[in-house]
Structure 1
Amino acid sequence: MGEQRRPNVILLVIDTLREDHAGGLEALRDLGFVKYENAIAPSPWTLPSHVSMVTGLYPSQHGVHEAYGVYAGTMMELSRQRMSKLDRGIIGELMKEGYSAYVISANPLISAAYGFGGVTEGLVADGLCRRHEECRDYERLITTLSRREGYLGAALELIRDGEVRLLLSGLRMLTRSRLRRLAGRLGLHDPTMEKGSLAILDFLRGRSFTEPFLMLINIMEAHGPYTVKDMNGQLTLRAFLEAVFFNRLDEEVTNLNRQSYPRHAAYATRRALEIIHALKGYLDRSLVIVTSDHGELLGDGGVHHGYFLKDGLLRVPLWVRWPSWARPVKQEGAFVSLAQVPSIVRAAMNGEASGLGSDVVLAESFGPEYRPERVYREGELPREAIKRAFSHRVRVYTRRGSATYNVDSDDFEEVSGDTQELTRGRPSTLLAKGP
């Protein structure tokens, strides 16, 4: 082990970016980044994958994952408790070593509400915000709206509290939202493109950060909605649940998303490069990791993200820029799990020269992350379909191929490669070992 150094740590997550649509990131080579091959997300959706990235644990180990009755919208308390118990992984670990910590996210799942709090500064960005100060106002307005029935009640409360400036800010954002939607319907503007990175760039530019720091950034430009027809996401949600429970693929929704996704992915990679350039003054003193938490299915085994353990969801880009004093670690294993992010951080801090990667990595699913009742009435779903959907599944990637194992039924559901080798053991024993 070499002398311990204290590089800044920047983890930039391009939410929902598939590896095969991440070609725009090749420009990172000119900035000294190294690409690592066959990076695998530990979960097919945001929250479990991010928790794995900061804790170094698979979803079944850290416990922040979906289950029957446990969905994305109801996981706040569970996620906060688990993250607190794990001291927020490398976030808490580095803060104890004197690091400042910043969590700057366009995805509300990566926020203090879900356990990513207690940091030096946090920001939840939204596509309605052009400047980061507006995002602060937006958060306060959402809190006020949650206490009141509708806009009028919220406005009256703000007036009573003397929050006229906040009320005016809210009116500006509401007007902007309505105009964007109208322009979208008229074909004058695409309101699905901007999803918060403008405000994140505003936050990063023209300010200095106390070093050493850890910075977790999530941008959402590759995430849906992808078309004006699906601004509220209901078309994709129904198509997703139809695929989960009835194995039916909605061709219209799938085709719409398949046609639009490449444009959003390209836009997201351009914004990611802008963010890296905004932080250029810190790069030589930093470990910078650029990746994605999961991809998006475009008819290749399903639609949307979550639940399915398919390559289009699990194969993600992974680029690393090592600090100027560190020699880039070579990839020795065939795969790199995103649950190995804490190991990458420790390698940069300790000057470890051991290889990166593993010959066996896993991904897990426990069911759809959306409540079925958002689409189906009680009794509309066959009991057997519910039982099948809410099963613990593990996807195993090895040099000999890949396989999906249903832990609950003790059955290999899909095998690609050397069948005898892949089905010899049980993935549950691999889970016990960790990434």
Structure 2
Amino acid sequence: MKSNVILIVADTLREDHSSKLDKLLEIGFQKIDNAFSASPWTLPSHVSMFTGLYPYFHGVHEYYGINDFVEGYGKLGIHAMTKFDNLISLLKDEGYKTIGISANAFISPIFGFNFDSYYLIDYPPLYTLENDTLEALNKYGANYKSKLKLLINLIRNKDFKDFKILTRYKLYKNSLTSYFYYKSKILHKGCNLIRRKIQQIKFNDKFFLFINVMEAHEPYSTDVIGKDVYGKYDYNFLRSVFLGSAENSMIAHYRKYYGIYAENSVNCVLNIILDLSKRINMDDALIIVTADHGNHIGEYGRVYHGFYLSDELLRVPLYIRYPKDIQSDLKLKGNNVSLTLIYSVIKSIIYNEVHIINGNFAISESYGPQHSLNTIQAYFNLNNSEIKKRYNHIIRISNNDQYLTYNMDKDEVIESSRSFNPENVQIIKDYFS
């Protein structure tokens, strides 16, 4: 019998804030040191984990000129997850029921993640969107900006099922519930709803369970939240990209709160593992716990995540618990691994194949700011040519504490640790040629 597969991603959890996950070692997990994300932000990082490909090859990454964030990246995600074999398609073909529970909307059908059963934890306020709700929102949301026109159309088409779904959703997600959500001292981001959903799912069949936990992700406090929940965060991230540094007040904000939310994320993951241990046979499951990227909390004047290829964003925790009867030669060994290896690890367990790690390096990529051109121009008085200068194919090659960062478009080394041999640029050129 093939093993069940569980992949848990603690979104935005830095490796240096994840040490309490070592409690997993007490229950049979193996810790992989020096694990690196393929990208410093969510969507390309997840697509790399699911396909085993770097962003250059799967094509889901930042690009100059994107105007509609969801539509632009949605097309890229759907194209990649359709074109390339991935964890969902692979496990579906092997008869697995695929289940996704995500507090991050990037990991949803809109961006190509087509699980058999999918639950999006929507916040603020906290609400679980299931497949039928997402389909209704996707069906009507883009075409009917006016609530009155939407109502008329639903009644005219006698679409009472969607009418009920959308009405229930609109009643829940209103200004009053958002008001009470932001009155909370700690902004919870769905951990309890994830745990509740785990209790409701029937794990009778062979399954692949994916979970994204958003507790370590912004927002961190109502101190900086205005009408636009992420506006202050986006502005300060882009301010560091285009003007050199975030505001001092925002840096202080991150330093005050990030540790609290990182600990919440770790505790959430540990509780999820505990919940699962009561619902499934852990000895029959491959369980992987990691993060998609980290966060800047003031280093070099930077906050948020994306664009930069720094340790703070790329070093992530990685823990693996193998099925009890797995052969030792199927287990991941060594350091300096990329999260792209998650695809290969799962595939090797499913097909009972020996997985070989080639090389001692991990690669990470950035192509520019992930924000839309409209957003950037709304914040800064920059012309298109000035903005476009920030869009280059930047590659970092990491080996333990040594690294080299290279601008592929300009053929120049940006920075390198003292003892890292510059000749390794050729490794990058050969790999991406």
Calculate the TM-score normalised by the size of structure 1: 0.87
> Does structure 2 conserve the Cα–Cα contact (< 8 Å) formed by 1:336 and 1:357?
no
**SS in structure 1 at match of 2:377:** coil
Equivalent residues in 2 for 1:73-112, closer than 5 Å: 73=70, 74-87=72-85, 89-112=86-109
1:21-67 deviation line (CA, Å, top 9, x unaligned): 11231221222111110110000011111111011111101111111
> Which of these residues, 203, 206, 209, is aligned with residue 209 of structure 1?
203
2:35 matched to 1:22? no
In structure 1, distance between residues paired with 2:250 and 2:405: 26
Q: Deviation digits for residues 338-385 of structure 1, max 9, x if unmatched?
A: 000022113333555667684111000001110132142599325554
Q: Residue 387 of structure 1 corresponds to which residue in structure 2? A: 388
Are 1:79 and 1:115, in contact at CA under 8 Å, matched by a contact in 2? Answer: yes
Q: For residues 221 and 132 of structure 2, what CA distance do their matches in structure 1 show?
A: 27
- Partner of residue 406, structure 1: 407
Tell me, in whole angstroms, the C-alpha distance in 2 between the residues paired with 1:409 and 1:236. 30
Q: How much has 1:422 moved relative to structure 2? A: 5.3
Does residue 225 of structure 2 align to residue 230 of structure 1? yes
The one-character-per-residue Cα deviations of 1:398-431 (angstroms, maximum 9, x if unpaired) are 2571011000110111111324445552513234
Contact 1:290 1:318 (C-alpha < 8 Å) held by counterparts: yes
Paired position in structure 1 for 2:257: 260
Equivalent-residue separation in structure 1 for 2:255 and 2:358 (angstroms)? 31
2:215 counterpart residue number? 221
The answer as to whether partners of 1:132 and 1:202 remain within 8 angstroms in 2 is: no
How many residues align structurally? Answer: 421
Cα displacement (A) at 1:102: 1.4
Contact persistence 1:134–1:169 (CA under 8 A): no
Aligned letter for 1:95? K
Q: Secondary structure at the match of 2:426?
A: coil
Q: CA deviation at 1:293?
A: 0.6
Q: 1:189 corresponds to which residue?
A: 184
Please, which runs of 5 or more residues in structure 1 have no aligned partner?
A: none
In structure 2, what is the Cα distance between the partners aligned to 1:58 and 1:91? 17
Letter matched to residue 165 of structure 2: L
Change in Cα spacing, 1:403 to 1:380, as seen in structure 2 (3 Å) is: same
Q: Tell me, in whole angstroms, the C-alpha distance in 2 between the residues paired with 1:126 and 1:150.
A: 22
Say if 2:239 and 2:245, in contact at 8 Å, map to a contact too.
Answer: yes
Whole-Å separation in 2 of the counterparts to 1:20 and 1:251: 23
Percent of matched pairs sharing the same residue: 33
**Residue of structure 2 in register with 1:61 after alignment:** 57
The answer to whether the 8 A contact 2:288-2:318 is kept is yes
Question: Cα 1:157–1:273, aligned 2, differ >3 Å: closer, same or farther?
Answer: farther
* CA distance 1:252–1:110, shift in 2 (3 Å): same
Q: Secondary structure at the match of 1:389?
A: coil
**Taking structure 1 as reference, are residues 420 and 270 closer, same or farther at Cα in structure 2, changes over 3 Å only?**
closer
1-side partners of 2:364 and 2:82: how far apart?
23
Structure 2: which amino acid aligns with 1:15? D
CA distance in 1, matches of 2:294, 2:138: 29
How far the C-alpha of 1:144 sits from its partner, in A, is: 3.9
Matches within 5 A, 1:106-125: 106-117=103-114, 119-125=115-121
SS in 2 for 1:413: strand
Provide the alpha-carbon RMSD of the alignment: 2.8
Report what 1:342 is aligned to: 343
Q: For structure 2, which runs of at least 5 residues remain unmatched after alignment?
A: none
AA aligned to 1:18 is R
Structure 1 pair 76/141, CA: closer, same or farther in 2 (3 Å)?
A: closer
Shift of 1:15: 0.9
CA contact (8 A) 1:158 1:167 kept: no
In 2 relative to 1, CA 240–422 (structure 1 residues): closer, same or farther, beyond 3 Å? farther
Residue 240 of structure 1: aligned partner: 237
Q: Cα offset for 1:220?
A: 1.2
Tell me which residue corresponds to 1:49: 45
